[in-house]
Structure 1
Amino acid sequence: MNYSFQFQVQAIVHTSFRQRHFSSFLRYTASRRNLEMEEVKDASDLLVGDPALMETKIEAIRLGGPQKLQVIADFDATLTKFSVNGTRGQSSHGLLQQGNPEYDAKRQQLYEYYHPLEFSPTIGLEEKTKLMEEWWGKTHALLVEGGLTYESIRQSVANANIAFREGVPELFEFLEERDIPVLIFSAGLADTIEEVLRQKLHRYFKNVRIVSNRMVFDDNGSLVSFKGKLIHSLNKNEHALDMAAPVHERFGDMDGPTDDNASLKKRTNVLLLGDHLGDLGMSDGLNYETRISLGFLTAVLVEGLKPPFVPVSYHYVIYSIETALFNF
C-alpha cells in the first residue's frame, strides 16, 4: 500500500463533507493543494464490511458537519507504525528503559507471559480482562518500585524504535484547521505518549487530547503513583473521558488551555481508529449518532489468527502482513 495514513483517514472525513456517493473505499492521490480522490476496488489488504451502510453513514456525517464530528484514535500501532526500519515498533510501555536493568527485565518477563494470553482465542473475555488487569497493575507497580524518572522517559523516547505513520502530522493539522477534536485513547502511558508527540512532531496541536494511564511525579521528577482509572487493552471506553486532557508539560502542567470535556460528548459523530478488537469499545459511553470505524488489524495476522470476524467488527479493515510490516 503506497498511500499514507493521512490520506486513508482524510478521505473518509473529506468524503463525509463533500461526496454524496461512495462504493468501496476512497483515497487521495496528488499534492495537498490539488487533492484527487480515486477508488480502490481490488486492494486485497482493504476490506469494507457493508458499502451500502457506509454510504448512509458518510451522508449522515456530511449533514452533521465538522462541528458534530470527533476522531477517537488508539496510539500504539494505530497512529504509530507497526514496523519501523524492518523491526517491530515499540509501544509507549515497551520503549521505557528505567535505568535499572533488573526492573526492565522483570517487565519484559511480564510481557512474555501475558502478551500471548491477550490474543489467545481459547480464553474468554471475562478471564482475559482479569489477566490484562493483572498485567497492567504489576507493570505499573514495577515502574514505581524501580524508580522511574521523567528524565528516563525523555531519554527512552529519544532512543526508541517508534515512529508515526506517514501523514499523521498532516492529518492532525487537517483536523485542527476544521476544529475537529482528536481524542488519543491509549492503554499505554500518557506521559510517554506526550513525549513522543513532542520529540517526533515538534509542535502542539490544540485539538489533540489524551486519555491514558497518567503518572504522578514528585518535585524531583521521580514517579510516585498513577492517577485515575487503570486503562488496559480491553476496558478502553469513554466512561474514562473525564481523564482526557491536553498535552501536559513536565510534572502535570498544561501546555494548552483546558476545555470542558462535556463538549466532546456533544460531538455525536465519531471516526474511530484502532488496531485491536478491544479498541471498538473506545466510543462506549458516548451517545453517538453515527460511527465509522477503521481497523489496522496487523497484529491479528502476525499472531497467526484468522480474520474472518474482522469485516463485521470494523467498518473498514486494513490488514496484510506484507503491507503492514513494510509499507506502513
Structure 2
Amino acid sequence: MSIINDILNHSFVKIKNPKIVETKLQKIVKDGYENLMILADFDYTLSKFKDKNGDECLITHSIFVKCTKEVRPELSQKLEVLCKKYGPFEHNKEISRDEKISHMENWWNFSHECIVDSKLSHDDIEKFVKDAPLYLRDFAVEFIQLIEDKNVPLIVFSAGIGNVIEMILQRNLGKIPSQLHIISNFMNFNKKNNICELFTEPTIHSCCKNSTVITGEQTYTNDIKSRPNIILLGDSIEDVHMDIGMVNESTAIKIGFLNHSIDSRFDEYSDAFDILLIDCQSMEIPLQLLKLCQNSDFNNLDAINNL
C-alpha cells in the first residue's frame, strides 16, 4: 500500500489527485532534508481552530478583542467595530482583488493604530497570551522539534502579531528554534516603560503573505535559495500563494486545513491544496510526511513503505 493510501485511511484527509501528490512526495523524500523548507501560516494552521471541548480558539489579533474587554473596554469595542466593518470583505468573491487588498490594509492599519493608542505594555500582552485560549495543534511541538533536529528552515508567514507568536512558541518549546523565522507584524516597545509605540512595516495582511514582504538582508535568505522543495501549510485560500517569490522552487506539496464552512468551501480548497485536512486539530499528517525524508536514501515510496 502506498503512503498516499495510508494517509487516505484517515477520514479527515482528502486528496483530489493522489498520483500527482505521490509523485511530488517521492521527489521531496528522495531529495531529503537538505533540499527542503517549510512555509506555514500560524493562526488556525500551526494553532488550533477548536479546543478539546469544540469551542473556537482565538487568533493572535483576536486576543486584543477578547482579552481586553475588562481592562481596556474601549480598545475591545473599537476592534470589534473594525471587524464588523472589514471582516465581510476578506472572503467576498464579488469584489476585485485590488479592492479586497485596500480593505485589508485599512483593517490591519486601523487595528494596529487602536492597539498602539491603548498604550499596552509588554507585561499586559504576556498576561493576555497566558490566559487566552490559543493553543498549538497536537503534534505541532514534535513537528517543530523534528525541523530543528534536521536543520530544515521553517518560515512562518503570519498576518497576525509576531510577538504573540513568539510568546506561544516560547511557552510550548522553551525557546524559538534558530531554524524558525517569523515574518509577521511585530510590536515595538519603548525602552522607558515597555509600552507598545508602533508596529513594524510593511503591514502584513491576509493577501500579502509571501517572500515579497521579507525586508532587509535576512540571515536565512541564502539558505532558502538553495532549497528547491517546499511543504506549505495554510488554512486560507490566500495561503497557497506563500511560495510566491521562492526563485528556485522545484516541488511544493501544499497542505490545507479546512476548519469551517466545509461544504461551501470544499471544492475551492480541494482544487487549491494537494492535501486537505478537514476539521482536524492535529499536525499528525505533516509530521508523518516530514518523517519520510529520513528515508531519502530510497528511490521510491514503495521501498519506504516496505520498511
TM-score (norm 2): 0.83
Give how far 1:88 is off.
0.9
Whole-Å separation in 2 of the counterparts to 1:311 and 1:23: 19
| Paired position in structure 2 for 1:229 | 202
| Paired position in structure 2 for 1:15 | none
Give how far 1:300 is off.
4.1
Give how far 1:265 is off.
2.2
Q: 1:244 to 1:138 in 2, by over 3 A?
A: farther
Matched, 1:283 2:243: yes
Letter in structure 2 aligned against 1:72: L
Whole-Å separation in 2 of the counterparts to 1:210 and 1:176: 15
Matched, 1:86 2:54: yes
Whole-Å separation in 1 of the counterparts to 2:232 and 2:255: 6
Whole-Å separation in 2 of the counterparts to 1:236 and 1:149: 27
Matched, 1:270 2:238: no
Identity %: 28
Pick one of 205, 215, 236 that aligns with 1:242: 215
Matched, 1:294 2:255: yes
| Paired position in structure 1 for 2:293 | none
Q: 1:202 to 1:293 in 2, by over 3 A?
A: same
1:168-220, CA deviations, whole angstroms, 9 ceiling, x for partnerless residues? Answer: 11111111111111111100011111111122333332221101011211112
Q: 1:59 to 1:41 in 2, by over 3 A?
A: closer
SS in 2 for 1:224: strand
Pick one of 265, 273, 281 that aligns with 1:306: 265
Whole-Å separation in 2 of the counterparts to 1:128 and 1:136: 12
Whole-Å separation in 1 of the counterparts to 2:4 and 2:173: 32
1:36-94, CA deviations, whole angstroms, 9 ceiling, x for partnerless residues? Answer: xxx14454432112111112211221232211101111000001110123311100111
8 Å CA contact 2:211–2:246 kept in 1: the answer is yes
8 Å CA contact 1:216–1:224 kept in 2: the answer is yes
1:217-246, CA deviations, whole angstroms, 9 ceiling, x for partnerless residues? Answer: 11121111112211101111111233797x
Matched, 1:127 2:99: yes
Letter in structure 1 aligned against 2:256: G
Whole-Å separation in 2 of the counterparts to 1:40 and 1:146: 47
Q: 1:262 to 1:239 in 2, by over 3 A?
A: farther
8 Å CA contact 2:137–2:281 kept in 1: the answer is no
More deviation in 276-285 or 80-89?
A: 80-89
Matched, 1:151 2:123: yes
Matched, 1:56 2:15: no
Q: Which has the higher contact order (CA 8 A, sep 6+)?
A: 2
Whole-Å separation in 1 of the counterparts to 2:179 and 2:147: 8
RMSD (Å) for aligned C-alpha atoms:
2.4
TM-score (norm 1): 0.78
1:266-296, CA deviations, whole angstroms, 9 ceiling, x for partnerless residues? Answer: 2121100000001111110112111000000
Whole-Å separation in 1 of the counterparts to 2:118 and 2:217: 27
SS in 2 for 1:87: coil
Whole-Å separation in 1 of the counterparts to 2:9 and 2:136: 27
Q: 1:286 to 1:137 in 2, by over 3 A?
A: same
Give how far 1:141 is off.
0.7
Whole-Å separation in 1 of the counterparts to 2:234 and 2:261: 12
1:106-151, CA deviations, whole angstroms, 9 ceiling, x for partnerless residues? Answer: 0122112322321233333222121111100110111111112211
Whole-Å separation in 2 of the counterparts to 1:143 and 1:244: 29
| Paired position in structure 2 for 1:47 | 14
8 Å CA contact 1:241–1:261 kept in 2: the answer is no
| Paired position in structure 1 for 2:32 | 65
| Paired position in structure 2 for 1:316 | 275
More deviation in 101-110 or 185-194?
A: 101-110
SS in 1 for 2:205: coil
Whole-Å separation in 1 of the counterparts to 2:2 and 2:147: 21
Letter in structure 2 aligned against 1:232: H
Letter in structure 1 aligned against 2:134: I
SS in 1 for 2:266: coil
**Equivalent runs, 1:20-35 vs 2, <5 Å:** 22=2, 24-25=4-5
Pick one of 73, 77, 81 that aligns with 1:101: 73
More deviation in 210-219 or 106-115?
A: 106-115
Matched, 1:199 2:171: yes
> Number of aligned pairs?
277
Whole-Å separation in 1 of the counterparts to 2:204 and 2:210: 9
| Paired position in structure 2 for 1:253 | none
